[in-house]
Each structure stands twice: as C-alpha cells, then as structure tokens.
C-alpha cells in the first residue's frame, strides 16, 4: 500500500475516506450520491447480513420481498410518513425511452410513455407492505405477521458520505403486525435488543439503547427505540432503530381484524431496520492510522500467511510444513489465506493485510522454518510474537477470541472515558466541540431541544433505557426533569 | 386447503396460477406488473440463491454491489444494448414530491426538482458496471475481474405473469472482464455449465445447453449460451443465459488495458444471469393437480409430521416416542416440522403439505404408536407405506434422495418422449400446437426463423451444444444445413 492514510488527529473525516480507499471497501459511482460496494467491503456486509438473518429467523421472522415502487397514492396515505420522506424521493414518471430525433444515437424520454400515476422508489416500505397486509389480515388467527425484507432503498440525499449517507443504500426492514399493543411493543423492544446483541457480540461495538425524542422519531411512529454508538471522534452514530408504529399504518390503510371476541380492531405495527451504515460504524469504532481493524467475527479473512522465500523449493517447504496447521484452522471454520503471490514482496503484503484489517497475520521464512517457528502478528495491538509451528493453530484460535474481546473492551473503555454528566449549559457549550456524550437533564420540550441544536449542533441521541430515574433540573431552562438524556453531536 | 386447483389438462395457465396461490408463493401487488414474493416462496428462492452463490464462489467469483440507477448518457453508450432495453425502462425524472396546493393532504411531483439527467432503473447492469470497471482496469495484472451481483432489476413489461415475467424481478448478474477472447469464452461456457449443473442436480430439471441464434441473442452480446428446459405442457423455458460480450462494452466505455507486451487492447467481457423466473420453471417441471411438488434439495421443509390424537396425553406420547427420530433427522440437516396445531384437523394438514410440496409427510396415531409404526407418504408418487418408528429416520433419509432422483428421471423421461426429429415443415406445422421440442434443419437465416415464428409462434430455442453434426436440408427452404436446431413454443 503505497497510498497514505491521513492521521485521525489531523482530519478524522479524511481519515475515514482514506480507510475506505486503502481497504478497498467502496467508492463513489457515476450516479450522484450512489456508491459501488467493492468485493472486500461487500464480503464484510455479507457477514453482517448472514448473522443478522440468522438472529431474525431464530426470533421467528421470515423473509419476503415487496415491490421497489410505491404508487404515489399509497405513499401519501400515512400523512406523517409521507411528509417525512416526500422531500427526498426518486420519482419514476415514464416507462420508456425513444430515439432522440435531434441527436442521432441518443435517447430521450418518450413523452407518450408517461405513467398515469407516478411511482416513488421506496425510501422505506411501510406503505407498500401495509397495503399488502390489508389483504392478508382478517382475523386474530392471521396474526402476528413477522416478516423481514433485505432490500435496497433510495433517499435523495444532497450531502452524501460513503456508507453513512448515500442516496441508495442496502438494508433490512422488519415489518410486523400484531393483535395487541402490548405484543407490538414487546416486538419493538425485542428487535432493538437483537440489534444491541449483534453490534456488541459481533461488531464488538458497545451501544446504548434508548428512546428517541418526538422530534427525532421515525415519521409515522409512536415511539422509536434506537441503539447509539460512540465513534472514535466522540460523535454519536445511530446504528439501528426499532419503531412502535401504533395503529397509524393500520388506520391509513384500513387494516382491521376480528379479535377473539369477534370485534373489529385496527392492527398494531412495528418496523425496524439496520443498513450498510453499520459499515461506517464498524470502521469508525475500531480502525487506526494504519488501516481497517476488523473484529474476527466479521472478517472475510481471519488469518493471512505470508511466506518469505527466495527459491521455489523454499516455498514448497513452507507449504508442506504448514499444511496441517492450515487444515486444522480451516476445519475450525477459520478462513486462511496463504499468500504465495510472486509479484509482491512480503513487506507490501504486510502493509496490505494491515490496511485490510485482517485480524492475524503469520509470517515464516527459511530460518523460522529451521527453528520450527512462526511469527504471529495481531492487528488490533500490532504485537508480534514468535511461537512454535506446532502450537500455532491452537494459539491462533485463542488469539482470535482475544482480539474480538479486546476490541469490544477498548471501545467500551473509550466510551466510558468520553461520557460525562453535565449540569450547566455554559459548561456544556464549552465542552461539546471536544466530542463525547453528555448526560444532562432536559425539560422534555421540543423548544429546548431545538435551541440546543441551533446553538451547539448537538442533538438528543436518546433517553437511555437503563438510565437511573434521577430528579433534576433542565440544564438549559432549569425546569424539572426526571431523567438525564444523552446529548451529542452525531453522524 | 378448501381452494380448488384447476386440472392441468383443463387449463395449464390457470393451473400454474392456482399452484402459486395454494402453495402461498407469491401474489400480484398494488404496483402494476410487480409481485410480492411471500415467505414460503421466498424461502425456496433463498435455497436457490444460497446454492448458486456457493457455486459462484467455488468458481472464483466475488459478490459486489452497483447502483440501481443508470444515468441516461451511460445507458445509451452501448447502442445495441440500449436499443434492446430502451422500450421497457422505468425512468426517474424528479427527486422530490411537494404538497399539492390544489388537493390538501395529497402530494405532487415538485417541478423544481427535475433532474438535469434522467436516471434509468437498471434493466441489466452492463452499462453502470463497465463505466466502473474503466476505473479499475489499467493492466493485465488487474484482470480477470470476476464479480457477481444479487439485485433487483426492472423491465417494464405490459403482459406480466407471476415469476415468469414481472416488471421488477430478482436475479443475479455476473460481470467478468478478461485479457483474452479465449478466456472470456471459457468463462461464458463455464458459467452456462454451472447453471446446467445447478438446474439438474438441485432443481431436478433437465436442460439442454445451446447457443442462441443472432436474433434471440442478448442485446450487446456476440454470443449467447443458454439452458432450455421443457415444461409439462411441452413448451420451452429459457432458464438461464451466459453471454460472451466480446469487446463491445469495453469499446463503448473505452476500457483498455496494457497487456504483457505493454500494448493497449480492449478488455473482453462476459455476463450471465438467472432470475426468480427459475421459480416458475420449478413449478412447471414437477408440480401436479394436487399442488406444488418440490425436489428435496430446494424444499424449505423436508418432512412434515402430523400427529393424530384426541387427548393431549396422546400428543405427548407421540412427541416422546418420535423425539429421537426427529433429533436424528435434524442432526443430518433435514428440516422437520412437527405440526401440533390444535386448530387444524389432520386431513386439512395432509392437504396443506401436499399443496406446499413437502417431499415427505409422516402421520402417526394411537394405534400406530401401539404397534410401533408410522405412516410415510411421499409427495412425488403419492405412495404411502407403514414402517417401524425405529427404521424411520434411515428410511426418510434414503427416501429424500430417491425423490430427488425420481423427479429428475421423470422430467427427463417426459422430455425424451416429447422431443422429435422432424424434416417436413408441413408435418411441423401440424404438430407444433401439441407442444414439444422439434429437432429440425434450418438454413441459418433470420428470414426463415422469422417466417416460422410468424406462421407457428415457435422460435429457435437453441443450437444444441451436444447436437450431432448432421448434414441436412432446411425444413422450410430446403437450403443446406449442418446441424439440427431446436424449435419450440416458449414461455
């Protein structure tokens, strides 16, 4: 990797983009705001997807697929939802191109192929899904419906940023229907818990679970649960959301069911989603000035082996000697890459695997071979160690677990150091630009929330679910408050 | 299942839609031409997808993701490709909706948000991908690029049919770049072979591999390889295609590379795809008048167990007695559903699993229990057999293999019976409406091909790759021909 990485302390934004570039994760496309997810980036996303999909199925959900287009009349049915997304919609108005008589070889939109009703490219699928659920639900026996969809969605963003904010992104969206309010709330909480478990156990990224304020809620939801993570620059990143939609969509689409008593009632709904944004969160939680750092559970390659040799016979000897170690690792489900590419020098390969965040790198040359040794380098701490080839497989298996744990611990320590209680608004204003999470009392009004946002660019990330109920006074207005909330600047 | 299934001999088209309905696979949506793939249908598609994905990776391909939109200027770059798809494009022209001042609560397209360049929703991704590959390829060292994408695509179809022809469908599209023509042709053939292996070994659907005629080729390809299957009504279904694109896209997007000798040359390309159309093929290859029939390798549920009982204690006894059988089956990777739903009678369940194509159904009542027996019903032949509970697990494992083989054999026998050599056009015209494949000599001209199509609605499905080279005379014009081609009516 000849390419330089901007240091985090110099320019965190630039560093972020440099990491994406050197690790070969994604790039801007020729379509404004849309990205190309490159094979190595996509392999990480596949790991995220496969694990989440397993967890969704284990909690009783099934996958299905709904159309990418939402007819305008359906889109506008739930008014708050429509209002929330109308300003960022890609709209299909025609269904045909024709030869442009004025520009031979060029095409133009065929005015004769105008649609009678415009189609919105889904920014989220509540509307199209609830117009479908209406046909599926008659009685309480048809409930609950527990469906998830893996899909692409489009929200026309003016200021985009790879993975964090793109016009098109990939995500999953769960859409469930229930007979009772209690059951729907239980589902909303359950899925927020699934997200928290996933981000902590697989991404090694600690999160705070909480509720959004009314102004930060999903358009059309009665309550939005979220998981919030702290990035290395102290900013917050909303990593997932789970919405209790009440009966809003059921009312908008007239979806009623006969309950056990034979009475008609509107159906209760939830929706929940995480997206390729998680890739951005993953990068900004663990990576360093040398490149990407990946938790082993999401790494496409766990172990890279770099043989150091002059003669082909030496390479063969190394291969022969490591065969049982490699077999043993692979049998344990560990992905091993033995890199015998003749066109690259060992030093180049070391830098390459460092840049790509491969958790463990092994190196072995003729002298190591003679001594029966191998060098083990761990990506997270940069530590190197020479061990015997015989003990290598067991050592690596244990080391991968250790790296996974260490990354989580390191991120948790960082967050603990950068979260503080604060009671004075003046104090808050002087500290907020330094980053971090601030636990402050808030009077519960949208006005105060907006004032803080205008004056400091910080927002209320959430009302933490496990926050202690502590009486206090709003740091801005002095009005009474029953719980501290988290203020932070956010991605 | 109270719902009736139209018999195949009465109305094959209606039967097809009935099967989709009773097996709960998919339905029409509120968006013209777009379908909703329901959970059970999607579970089958996931099995198809997972297996193909594995085979693509085993042949060296990686997944990636490219934008759903293609700017018009890129779309029109490869003229033949553009011409082929221009008439069926969904076109995005605006990026915002606004409140409609004339209709309170309604939205309208915001005329101020007109895009400077229209975006085509991808009907296929060669254009956007080759505009990207241009940035990735400088030297032969950057080649080959072996990428696959799982995605949704949109082709505006006026006459749609669930799974077979829908405006939006799901597919995979492989897009590879090579340094030499020979290597690109090898890749094209390799992937057509992968498709043939998959359809035969997993879908239990025999296919004929062949080349398309020039008029049936993919727009922008120099050669299109295909796999053609015969449905139960004798019609052909194109189940997958693999295209040798020559240097057409490299020239359109100016993608050159420095070869080993340091000279600049255009890159060679292939693309290949299969889609949710395979679901239609699967249905029409094996299913019968009682419902869906699934090959075990693609069945979401392999074995359904229906306990027959009056008292809860009997149910418990059955559960207890079958526990080790179920555990043993599950340990072997077999998906078992033990259906203890109290709201449904055994007879209803039998019909339900029959309709859904579950390969093996077990039933057990108090008397069987006493005798230590269980009833085994296989879906493909409708045969029932009573065996001992002890031998059940081994029996079912063997039976699933047998069913998989039997379905393939049955489909192959059907095809062999319905394929014939034909030398007289009169004879052909009298027989074509009865269905089947006709091996006939053809003079190689588009005119003759078109004449047959106009007069009989039959098309040349392919020039079979393993067809014997036999001199003969075109059945229509009498002009010389070197090989028989396959004529058939097609989906």
What percentage of chain A reaches a pLDDT higher than 90? 97
Q: Is the peptide bond before A144 cis (omega within 30 degrees of 0)?
A: yes
Tell if the CB–CB gap between A96 and B156 is shorter than 8 Å. Answer: yes
Tell if the CB–CB gap between A86 and B96 is shorter than 8 Å. Answer: yes
Q: Please state, as a whole number, how many other Cβ atoms lie within 10 Å of the Cβ of residue A350.
A: 16
Where exactly does CATH 3.30.930.10 map onto chain A?
Answer: 12-66+126-286
- Cα separation, A114 vs A98, whole angstroms: 12
What percentage of chain A reaches a pLDDT higher than 70? 99
The model's pLDDT over B449-458, given as tens digits with 9 standing for 90+, comes to: 999 999 999 9
How far CA B431 is from CA of B12, B419, B422, in Å, comes to 18, 11, 10
Minimum CA–CA partner of B39 in chain A: A64
Q: How far apart are the first and last CA of chain A?
A: 29
Tell if the CB–CB gap between A35 and B151 is shorter than 8 Å. Answer: no
Tell if the CB–CB gap between B68 and A154 is shorter than 8 Å. Answer: yes
Tell if the CB–CB gap between B96 and A105 is shorter than 8 Å. Answer: no
- Measured CA angle at B384 (ends B380, B389), to 5 deg: 115
Tell if the CB–CB gap between B121 and A118 is shorter than 8 Å. Answer: no
Minimum CA–CA partner of B169 in chain A: A67
Sort out which chain B residues have CB atoms less than 8 A from A93's CB and list them: 91-94, 109
- Cα separation, A269 vs A263, whole angstroms: 18
Domain range B301-399, its CATH number among 3.40.50.800, 3.40.50.2300, 3.10.20.30, 3.40.50.10170: 3.40.50.800
Sort out which chain A residues have CB atoms less than 8 A from B130's CB and list them: none
Q: Let me know how long chain A is.
A: 491
Contacts of residue A171, Cβ cutoff 8 Å, sequence gap at least 6: A150, A151, A152, A153, A273, A274, A275, A276
- Cα separation, B459 vs B439, whole angstroms: 12
DSSP letters spanning A381-423: T--EEEEEHHHHHHHHHHHHHHHHHHHHHHHHHHHHHTEEE--
Tell if the CB–CB gap between A91 and B93 is shorter than 8 Å. Answer: yes
Contact A241, A271 (CB under 8 A): no
Q: Does domain B12-72+121-286 have CATH number 3.30.930.10?
A: yes
Residue A1's pLDDT band, with cuts at 50, 70 and 90, is very low
Minimum CA–CA partner of B153 in chain A: A68
Contacts of residue A484, Cβ cutoff 8 Å, sequence gap at least 6: A421, A439, A440, A441, A442, A464, A467, A468, A470, A472
Tell if the CB–CB gap between B106 and A76 is shorter than 8 Å. Answer: yes
The model's pLDDT over A150-207, given as tens digits with 9 standing for 90+, comes to: 999 999 988 999 999 999 999 999 999 999 999 999 999 999 999 999 999 999 999 9
In which region does residue A226 sit, left (phi positive, over 0), alpha (psi from -120 to 50) or beta (all else)?
beta
* A12-66+126-286 CATH fold: BirA Bifunctional Protein; domain 2 (3.30.930)
- Cα separation, A285 vs A7, whole angstroms: 15
Write the residue in A105, A120, A132 that is nearest to B29 by C-beta. A132
Q: For residue A264, what are the β-bridge partners?
A: A258
Question: Which of B21, B30, B57 should we substitute to test contact with A (largest number of A Cβ atoms within 10 Å)?
Answer: B30
- Average pLDDT of chain A, as a whole number: 97
Tell if the CB–CB gap between B132 and A29 is shorter than 8 Å. Answer: yes
Q: How far is A335 from chain B (nearest CA, A)?
A: 14
Minimum CA–CA partner of B112 in chain A: A87
Minimum CA–CA partner of A131 in chain B: B30
Arch. (CATH architecture) of A419-488: 2-Layer Sandwich (3.30)
Average pLDDT over every residue of A137-146? 97
Where exactly does CATH 3.40.50.800 map onto chain B?
Answer: 301-399
Tell if the CB–CB gap between B66 and A29 is shorter than 8 Å. Answer: yes
Contact B353, B378 (CB under 8 A): no
Count CA within 13 A, CB hemisphere, residue B356: 26
Q: How far is A340 from chain B (nearest CA, A)?
A: 15
Q: How far is B128 from chain A (nearest CA, A)?
A: 8
Question: Which of A97, A127, A254 should we substitute to test contact with B (largest number of B Cβ atoms within 10 Å)?
Answer: A97
Instruction: Report ipTM for this prediction.
Output: 0.97
Beta strands across the sheet bearing B384-388: B336-338, B303-307, B360-364, B373-378, B384-388
Where exactly does CATH 3.30.110.30 map onto chain A?
Answer: 419-488
- Cα separation, A138 vs B403, whole angstroms: 37
Write the residue in B99, B109, B132 that is nearest to A36 by C-beta. B132
- Cα separation, B85 vs A21, whole angstroms: 34
How many separate helices (H) and strands (E) can be counted in chain A? 14, 26
Residues of chain B with pLDDT under 50: 1-2
Q: Let me know how long chain B is.
A: 491
Average pLDDT over every residue of A291-299? 98
Average pLDDT over every residue of A285-300? 98
Say what the pLDDT of residue B1 is: 47
Tell if the CB–CB gap between B74 and A128 is shorter than 8 Å. Answer: no
- Cα separation, B206 vs B410, whole angstroms: 10
Tell if the CB–CB gap between B96 and A91 is shorter than 8 Å. Answer: yes
Sort out which chain A residues have CB atoms less than 8 A from B37's CB and list them: 64-65
Tell if the CB–CB gap between A89 and B72 is shorter than 8 Å. Answer: no
Say what the pLDDT of residue B3 is: 67
Contact B24, B41 (CB under 8 A): yes
Q: Please state, as a whole number, how many other Cβ atoms lie within 10 Å of the Cβ of residue B478.
A: 12
Residue with tokens 């039976």: B399
The pTM assigned to this predicted structure is 0.97
User: Nearest to residue B145, comparing CAs of B188, B175, B180?
Assistant: B175
Tell if the CB–CB gap between B76 and A34 is shorter than 8 Å. Answer: no
CATH number of A297-402: 3.40.50.800
The model's pLDDT over A236-283, given as tens digits with 9 standing for 90+, comes to: 999 999 999 999 999 999 999 999 999 999 999 999 999 999 999 999
User: Nearest to residue A305, comparing CAs of A268, A270, A334, A279?
Assistant: A334
- Measured CA angle at B202 (ends B25, B228), to 5 deg: 85
Sort out which chain B residues have CB atoms less than 8 A from A76's CB and list them: 105-107
DSSP letters spanning B232-268: TTS-EEEEEEEEEEETHHHHHTT-EEE-TTS-EEEPE
Residue with tokens 């949704």: B152
Where exactly does CATH 3.30.930.10 map onto chain B?
Answer: 12-72+121-286
Say what the pLDDT of residue B417 is: 98
User: Nearest to residue A209, comparing CAs of A473, A491, A463?
Assistant: A463
H-state helical runs in A202-276: 248-252
Write the residue in B74, B105, B154 that is nearest to A30 by C-beta. B74
- Cα separation, A135 vs B21, whole angstroms: 13
How many separate helices (H) and strands (E) can be counted in chain B? 14, 26
Token code pair at residue A197: 């478990």
User: Nearest to residue A276, comparing CAs of A166, A355, A192?
Assistant: A166
Tell if the CB–CB gap between A68 and B34 is shorter than 8 Å. Answer: yes
Q: How far is B117 from chain A (nearest CA, A)?
A: 10
- Cα separation, A398 vs A334, whole angstroms: 12
């Amino acid at each position: 990797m000849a390419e330089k990485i901007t240091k985090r302390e110099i320019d965190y934004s630039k560093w972020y983009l440099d990491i994406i570039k050197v690790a070969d994760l994604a790039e801007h496309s020729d379509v404004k705001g849309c990205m190309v997810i490159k094979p190595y980036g996509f392999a990480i996303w596949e790991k995220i997807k496969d694990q989440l999909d397993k967890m969704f199925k284990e909690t009783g959900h099934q996958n299905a697929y709904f159309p990418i287009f939402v007819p305008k009349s359906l889109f506008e049915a739930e008014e708050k939802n429509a209002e929330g997304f109308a300003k960022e919609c890609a709209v299909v108005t025609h269904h045909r191109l024709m030869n442009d008589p004025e520009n031979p070889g060029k095409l133009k939109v065929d005015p004769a192929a105008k649609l009678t009703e415009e189609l919105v490219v889904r920014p989220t699928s509540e509307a199209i899904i609830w117009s479908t659920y209406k046909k599926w639900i008659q009685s309480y026996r048809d409930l609950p419906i527990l469906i998830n969809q893996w899909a692409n969605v489009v929200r026309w963003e003016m200021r985009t940023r790879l993975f964090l904010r793109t016009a098109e992104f990939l995500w999953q969206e769960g859409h469930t229907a229930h007979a009772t309010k209690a059951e729907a709330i239980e589902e909303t909480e359950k899925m927020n818990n699934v997200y928290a478990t996933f981000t902590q156990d697989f991404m090694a990224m600690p999160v705070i679970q909480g509720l959004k304020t009314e102004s930060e809620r999903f358009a059309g939801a009665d309550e939005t649960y979220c998981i919030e993570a702290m990035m290395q620059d102290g900013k917050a990143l909303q990593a997932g959301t789970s919405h209790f939609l009440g009966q809003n969509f059921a009312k908008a689409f007239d979806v009623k069911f006969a309950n056990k008593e034979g009475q008609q009632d509107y159906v209760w709904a939830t929706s929940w989603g995480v997206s390729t944004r998680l890739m951005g969160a993953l990068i900004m939680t663990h990576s360093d000035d040398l490149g990407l750092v990946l938790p082993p559970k999401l790494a496409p390659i766990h172990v890279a082996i770099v043989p150091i040799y002059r003669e082909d016979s030496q390479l063969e000897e190394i291969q022969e000697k490591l065969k049982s170690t490699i077999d043993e690792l692979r049998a344990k489900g560990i992905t091993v890459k033995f890199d015998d590419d003749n066109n690259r020098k060992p030093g180049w390969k070391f830098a390459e695997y460092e840049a790509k965040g491969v958790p463990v790198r092994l190196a072995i040359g003729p002298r190591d071979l003679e001594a029966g040794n191998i060098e083990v380098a761990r990506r997270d701490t940069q530590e190197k160690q020479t061990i015997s080839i015989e003990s290598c497989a067991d050592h690596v298996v244990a080391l991968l677990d250790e790296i996974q744990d260490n990354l989580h611990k390191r991120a948790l320590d960082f967050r603990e150091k950068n979260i503080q209680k604060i009671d004075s608004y003046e104090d808050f204003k002087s500290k907020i630009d330094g980053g971090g999470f601030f636990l402050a009392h808030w009077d519960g009004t949208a006005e105060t929330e907006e004032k803080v946002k205008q004056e400091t660019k910080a927002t209320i990330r959430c009302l933490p679910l496990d926050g202690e109920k502590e009486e206090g006074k709003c740091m801005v207005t002095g009005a009474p408050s029953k719980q501290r909330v988290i203020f932070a600047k956010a991605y």
